[in-house]
Structures are given as C-alpha cells and as structure tokens.
Amino acid sequence: MSRIRVGNSSFAATRFWNIVCLARGRCERNDAVPVEWMKRAPFRPMTAQHGAPRKDFMPLTARYAAAQQVALKAGELARDLFAKRDSLIVEHKGAQNFVSRADRAIEDFIASKLAAAFPGDAFLGEESAASFAGVPEHVWVVDPIDGTHNFLRGLRYYCVSIAYVELGRTEVGVVYDPEHHEMFHARRGEGAWRRHAGDQRRIAVSDCKALKDALVAIGHHDRFVEPRYLALRHALMDAGAATRNLGAGALQLAHVAAGRLDGFVELSLNAWDALAGLLLVEEAGGHVAPFPGPERWRDPAPVLGCTRGIAGALESMVGAW
C-alpha cells in the first residue's frame, strides 16, 4: 500500500484497503469495522519521520483509532456517573479499596465496543480480571476508572486507561481525563500526543536532570502498611525533590509524559494501571523501568516512569530493577 500522508488521504487509503480486502474476499470483521472508527477518530498528524507503514499497518491503526474513540465515550459515561456519584452503591473490595456500579458499567461498555470491533481480541479489565486466562497474542488491558477513590469522593482526578498489547508488547496507550477533556495517546514509534478542545500537540517529558529540581509522584495504595513508601519519600525529601500522590497511577504517568511531573513511582501496580501510561512516557522521550509481560500479569509489579535525567537516581532509590 502506498505511503499514508496527513489528513484525508489516510481515510482514502483506509477505504482503498478495505475495498482491496473485499475484492479479495478476505475482509474479516477486523478489517471492515475499524473503518468506521477511523472516519470518526481525530487523528494525530503523520509526517515523513514516521517512515514507511508496517506490514500490519491497518489493524494497528484501526485499534489505535478505536482506543481513542472508546476512551472518549467511556469518559463521557464516567463524567455522567461522576455527577450522580452520591447515588452509586459503593462496595468495599477490601480495606480502602472500592468499586461501584460506575466502574463495572464503564468496563462493560469498553469491553462490548472493543469486542464488537475486534472479536478475536482478548480483554483484561480490572473489574473482570478473574475471568482472564492465558497469554493471548492480541489483548486489550483496561482500567475503566483509574482513581476510583478520587471519583467517589468528588475529586476530579481520575481517568480511563486503555492499552493494546500485541505479542507481549504494548503498541497503543490511551489515557483520557474526562474532567479536563484531555486525551493522552500514543502508538509505539509515533510519539505521544495530547488532544484538548480540538487542538492536538505532541508532548514530551520535562528536561529535569536532578532530583533536587524534580516533582515526583509516589503512588501508593492504602490497603496495608508498606514502610518502603515512607523510606522512599524520606529519600526523595533528602534529595530535595518535591513529592505528590494524586491518586490515579495512569493519569500521573500521562502527566509525566506531558512534562507536568518529572517522575512517577509506585511499588505495586497492576497491568491495567500501568501499561497505557508507560507507553506514553516512553513515546514522550522518557525512561520507563521494565514491566512484566502477560505471563506475569496476575501479580502487581513496581512501576517507574520519569525523565532520563533522574532515571538512574530514582531507580537506585527504589532498588526494584
């Protein structure tokens, strides 16, 4: 297929590809449905630097567009439910660990939209994780509301997080903040982007080079006492860093990618909290510590995303990699 260029030519190429598929009698649903996603999806600009399209260009492009579109719709649903949060029945999954009808409704919405568009793909969502089995080649990893505690308390710092992982590698990451109408999105190799009010720009991590100048978020759950967080905060304070915990791991990673934070660390996070945000940081030119692949997604793992300038100091402080 010919090179894909900016603007409507990408739509033309998509339709062309679809017609070719139909003509060859091998247009699966995967090929047909995403064209609809792509017509509606707001695209990031593509430039010569992106090089020639990969062999699998169409399916990944369709998934990238779908991830943004579904995150946007899921975010609208979250915003509606946020306004009605006082009427939501809240269940305790454990100490300081909550879930409500909102989390489940949004996850069901995302799962059904993705299953309709990509019926062969697997789905790992926080609220249905118990039924996830195996190590599939194509899998969506989703947190319907990251920052549930904030959401339920009326704090406008939560997001929808959607990652698409192929053969164990995260290819697409989308984090949508519905309260501020900010969409952070990345496709591997094509940079990280922020879209807001019709404006789309490439984002980059800050140029912070030393912990003494850094603003670092230390995410932590509050489910049991974890003295390592106290030690980490102490070490960061000793190094002169400012620290925060804003309560939504995926959004804090997106904010590292956008240069608003210089780093984010959490000692124990699940794949649905981490994968989309880690790709954003990577594509924004930052450093990410290795996160386990699908065969180890049953267990939470340490997460780090930060500028390259503070990576060495932060990694040795955490001591997990």
Beta carbons of 157 and 178 less than 8 angstroms apart: no
**Residue 143 binds ligand IPD, judged by CB under 6 A:** yes
Helices 308-318, 227-238: axis angle to 10 degrees equals 140
Q: Which does 269 bind (CB under 5 to 8 A by kind): Ca ion, ligand IPD, none?
A: ligand IPD
Beta carbons of 114 and 73 less than 8 angstroms apart: no
**Residue 220 binds ligand IPD, judged by CB under 6 A:** yes
Shortest distance, position 91 Cβ to ligand IPD, whole Å: 12
Exactly one of 125, 147, 173, 302 binds ligand IPD (CB under 6 A); which one?
Answer: 147
- To which residue do tokens 């807001």 refer? 196
Number of residues that bind ligand IPD (CB under 6 A): 15
Shortest distance, position 248 Cβ to ligand IPD, whole Å: 5
Q: At residue 293, what are phi and psi to the nearest 5 degrees?
A: -85, 180
Q: Which does 248 bind (CB under 5 to 8 A by kind): ligand IPD, Ca ion, none?
A: ligand IPD
| Cα–Cα dist 241/218, whole Å | 11
Q: Which of residues 167-196 bind ligand IPD (CB under 6 A)?
A: none
Q: Which of residues 237-266 bind ligand IPD (CB under 6 A)?
A: 247-249, 266
Q: Which does 282 bind (CB under 5 to 8 A by kind): ligand IPD, Ca ion, none?
A: none
Q: At residue 295, what are phi and psi to the nearest 5 degrees?
A: -65, -15
**Residue 273 binds ligand IPD, judged by CB under 6 A:** yes
Q: Measured between alpha carbons, how far apart are the two ends of the chain, in Å?
A: 42
**Residue 146 binds ligand IPD, judged by CB under 6 A:** yes
Task: Report which of 165, 203, 168 is spatially closest to residue 183, judged by C-alpha positions.
Answer: 203
**Residue 107 binds ligand IPD, judged by CB under 6 A:** no
DSSP state of 295: G
Shortest distance, position 39 Cβ to ligand IPD, whole Å: 32
Shortest distance, position 220 Cβ to ligand IPD, whole Å: 5
Query: Which amino acid is present at 126?
Result: E
Contacts of 86 (CB under 8 A, 6+ apart): none
Residues lying near ligand IPD in the complex (CB under 6 A) are found at 126, 143, 146-149, 219-221, 247-249, 266, 269, 273
